[in-house]
Amino acid sequence: MKEPAPASRISSGPDIAVIGGSGFYSFFDSDAHGVIVDTPYGRPSAPITIGAVAGRQTAFLPRHGERHQYSPHTVPYRANMWALRTLGVRKVLAPCAAGSLSPDLGPGAVVVPDQLVDRTSGRTQTYFDGGAVHVRFADPYCPGLRAAAMLPGTVDGGAVVVVEGPRFSTRAESRWFAAQGWTLVNMTGHPEAVLARELELCYATIALVTDLDAGLTAGEGVRAVDVFAEFERNLGPFKDLVRAAVAEAPTTDCAHCRVHDGVTLPIELP
């Protein structure tokens, strides 16, 4: 990859981005260039790389950094999403690792959630620190992007509960989540999804199941080494699925994710 260039030097940018989760640190095999983007919220997790997927200009950003230097609670979520919009991105696919809360969804399953439950604490989850701006969020994921990700072998729908981390859940927590009917547990889906909505970015998650959560199995519980190993085993096909979703993603505007019509915002969006 070429040396990253400042964003001001990029004449035309991508309209779609992929944010890679744990173990998903690169996306393009060749012909990609890096871009450095400064934002009012600091720099994003890493330089953003831009390349072509199915002939479509696409941005890629590793959520945890190029060497996984950001834990879930320290990821610069506001800088990440702001930087992508600055480059012209209006659609974001967010592949991630997740634990399963159902014995019917074992490791290797790929789920396209349709709901989100926030159980984080202390994370900044808005750009609107001043002014009364209330954002519609009943359906947190873009229907158009979800449809693009619904490829053969994927599971349609389910609620992902986002926990603070970096620790994994206790057995009691895991059983409680499962008893609510929630499908997956993850550490990074919030505030990323709501920040995307505030920026009027279409956003959808594609979750690769890496483990059965602690309440579903006996033994030692979830271990990070096992999560990373399972993700690595499935990484090649998972990247292919994400590339296919990029190719299928709509190129038109999305009314569902345009939430500020008729509203005067306290800040100017990039």
> Is 211 among the catalytic positions?
yes
How many helices (DSSP H) and strands (DSSP E) are in the chain?
Answer: 5, 12
- In angstroms, the Cα distances linking 110 to 9, 41, 216, 229 are 37, 32, 18, 16
Catalytic residue among 211, 226, 240, 261: 211
Strands 184-186 and 159-163: parallel
Alpha helix stretches (DSSP H) within the chain: 77-86, 143-149, 171-179, 189-198, 224-248
Give the torsion sign (CA, 45, 82, 93, 35): negative
The question of whether 118 is a catalytic residue gets the answer no
Closest to 46 (Cα-Cα) out of 27, 23, 29, 70? 70
**Nearest residue to 77 (alpha-carbon basis) of 180, 215, 216, 187:** 187
Give, rounded to a whole angstrom, the gap between the first and last alpha carbons of the chain. Answer: 26
Give which of 90, 40, 36 is closest to 267, Cα–Cα: 40
CA 187/CA 215 separation, integer angstroms = 17
**154 contacts 238 by C-beta, under 8 angstroms:** no
Residue carrying structure tokens 């800088």: 79
Active-site residue, selected from the candidate residues 29, 156, 213, 240: 213
**What are the catalytic residues?**
211, 213
